[in-house]
Amino acid sequence: MPINLQKSIIGPKLRIEGNIYSDEELIIEGDVQAQRIDAGNNPIIVGLGAKVVGDLYGSEIIVYGKVKGNCYGKKSIYLGDKAEVDGDLHSKYIDIEPTSYLSGRLIKK
C-alpha cells in the first residue's frame, strides 16, 4: 500500500552536500551543506539534532537545531528554545524563544 506523506525528510544519519530544491515540506534531521536549500512555498523544519550550512528559503522556517546561513521565510521564521542560528533572518513575522541563540540581523519584510 503506497503512502503519500507530502513531505521530504533528511534523516539523522544522512549527510547531504549540494543544493536542495523541494516542492513539498522539507524536514531536516541530519547534516546538510549547501549554498541554497529551497522548499518554494512550503515550510522547512530543522530538527533538534540537525546541522545545516546554507541559506534556507521557504514559506515558514522552523529551527530547533543549528543553522549557519541566512533564513528567508515568506510567511514566518521561528527559532525554538535550543536553536542556534549564525545568519540573518528575513521575514514578515519572526518569533525567537529567549533561550535560542542568534548571531545575525532581523530583517522584517
Q: Based on the structure, what is the number of domains in the chain? A: 1
List pLDDT tens digits, range 15-31: 778 888 989 999 999 99
Q: Residue 2: inside a domain, yes or no?
A: no
Q: Residue 97: inside a domain, yes or no?
A: yes
List pLDDT tens digits, range 56-100: 999 999 999 999 999 999 999 999 999 999 999 999 999 999 999
Q: Residue 1: inside a domain, yes or no?
A: no
Q: Residue 16: inside a domain, yes or no?
A: yes
Q: Residue 68: inside a domain, yes or no?
A: yes
Torsion on CA atoms 64, 42, 29, 107, rounded to nearest 10: -40
DSSP 53: E
Q: Residue 37: inside a domain, yes or no?
A: yes
H or E stretch at 43: none
Q: Residue 98: inside a domain, yes or no?
A: yes
Strand partners, 91: 73, 108
